[in-house]
Amino acid sequence: MGYLLFFIYLTAFCILLLRVPFFRNSGISAKWLVGLFLCRVIAGVVHAYIDLNVFEVSDTVEVYQRALRHFNMLKADPIEFIIDLFRTPYDGKYGDLFGVHHSFWNNLKLNFLIKIVAVFDLLSLKNFYINVLLYNMLVFFGAVGLYRALDGLVPGKKWLLIVGVFLFPSGLYFTSAIHKDGFVWLAIGLIALALRKIEDGFTIRGIVTIIASLLLIFVVRNYVALVMVPALLAYGVGCRWKRVAGITYPAVFLFCVVLFFGLRHLIPSADFPAILIDRQHAFMEIPTEGTAKLPMPELTPDAISFGSALIPAINHSFFHPFIFTNRQLTMTGFAMELLLVQLLFLLFLVRRVKCSHLLPGFLIFISLVDLLLIGYIVPFPGAIIRYRSVFLNLIFIVLLMRVDFRYFLIKFNIKENNM
């Protein structure tokens, strides 16, 4: 029964891709659109099989098992099922908004995921693999939205853009499993498309899409939502005043650094350095059980301490894992992927095509800031690879768009210059 239902849903979703205007208007041919969706489904099924049969402990399996209890609540009392999401177990107290311990907001991301899987269970008859299929159909909206947002910004990059958006290995693998990363990918794609459409004028649909997507990111990864706000501000300022568009993102970044260290002197509860340190300590307290752990500098809530830890943070997020120091096949694969991105960055520095649009800068801004935060907080290489997958994917996409590959092909006599 499970196999039959899986293929019924799969067939229905493939038909949906061909008929829904959101997908038909993407500019991707029908067979390629279906093929890219199937790639995502295959990645999700492989990830699900590994989680069920290889790993002794898996986040996705744990969420699935906990969702079964909420599934019973959903069937018995749907209203209570919804209300339960907003209850706190801490004596009526919701805790600090960005706190790690005894905080409703910190628990919300897991509780939200459990509730979503419980809804999937209702549609899938509690089948783990069908849940993955339903989830990937949802996330595919974000991937297509991101492609539509970036398509045409740089001429002649259609196929490279397709590869970057849909086939980046770690991005595809980690956003195809029922993790929070997929929801972040979904929301970023929808926000990017809304920003692209805002060029033709503000619409209620665009504003609602941005707000709803921000709320989704806040629920699953609140620190990412915090980074999105100044990025959106920079985008808006650049669109409004074209003359200062080139310095908008650096200026907003510097302003955010000042706020990060200085706001606590005006609003004691907004002690962002202490919040980040608390998150780092929470990760450090996780039992390793033989898992490799990177050395993390001891931080204090001041600019000097964070400045001294900047190089290790960059090293962790932008250079780990090293390709020659990991004997695990999977880690070597992710290291090669990272090496490819680094190579593209070097090519970008040598020769790049012009792109005056602010959207690539928006994606780079949120990616670099989030990667830096991950470098400060997360000590486990495996966790770093997963947490950064969305943002490394975004950087990869922008580099594919901006590197002048034609110049290098001509320079190395791979392609003739017909100009």
Rounded-to-integer distance, Cα 324 and Cα 193, Å: 39
- Give the model's pLDDT for residue 415: 62
**pLDDT (tens digit per residue) in 295-304:** 888 888 888 9
Rounded-to-integer distance, Cα 364 and Cα 403, Å: 14
Q: Return the closest-CA partner of residue 359 out of 170, 194, 155, 167.
A: 194
Query: Using H for helix, E for strand and C for coil, what is the string for the chain?
Result: CHHHHHHHHHHHHHHHHHHCHHHHCCCCCHHHHHHHHHHHHHHHHHHHHHHHHCCCCCHHHHHHHHHHHHHHHHHHCHHHHHHHCCCCCCCCCCCCCCCCCCCHHHHHHHHHHHHHHHHHHHHHCCCHHHHHHHHHHHHHHHHHHHHHHHCCCCCCCHHHHHHHHHCCHHHHHHHHCCCHHHHHHHHHHHHHHHHHHHCCCCCHHHHHHHHHHHHHHHHHCHHHHHHHHHHHHHHHHHHHCHHHHHHHHHHHHHHHHHHHHHHHHCCCCCCHHHHHHHHHHHHHCCCCCCCCCCCCCCCCCCHHHHHHCHHHHHHHHHHCCCCCCCCCHHHHHHHHHHHHHHHHHHHHHHCECCCCCCHHHHHHHHHHHHHHHHHHHCCCHHHHHHHHHHHHHHHHHHHHHHECHHHHHHHCCCCCCCC
**pLDDT (tens digit per residue) in 225-251:** 999 999 999 998 888 887 877 788 899
What would the two tokens of residue 125 be? 């008859």
Give phi and psi for 164, each to the nearest 5: -65, -45
- Give the model's pLDDT for residue 419: 46
Q: In angstroms, how far is CA 381 from the centroid of its own chain?
A: 17
- List the domain boundaries for the chain: 1-220, 240-419
- Give the model's pLDDT for residue 288: 63
419 residues of the chain, pLDDT tens digit each: 778 999 999 999 999 999 999 999 999 999 999 999 999 999 999 999 998 888 877 888 999 999 999 999 998 888 989 988 888 777 767 767 777 777 788 788 888 999 999 999 999 999 999 999 999 999 999 999 999 999 989 988 899 999 999 999 999 999 999 999 999 999 999 999 999 988 767 788 889 999 999 999 999 998 899 999 999 999 988 888 878 777 888 999 999 999 888 888 888 877 888 888 888 888 887 776 656 788 888 888 888 999 999 999 999 999 888 776 656 667 788 889 999 999 999 999 999 988 888 899 999 999 999 999 999 999 888 889 999 999 999 999 999 999 988 888 888 776 655 54
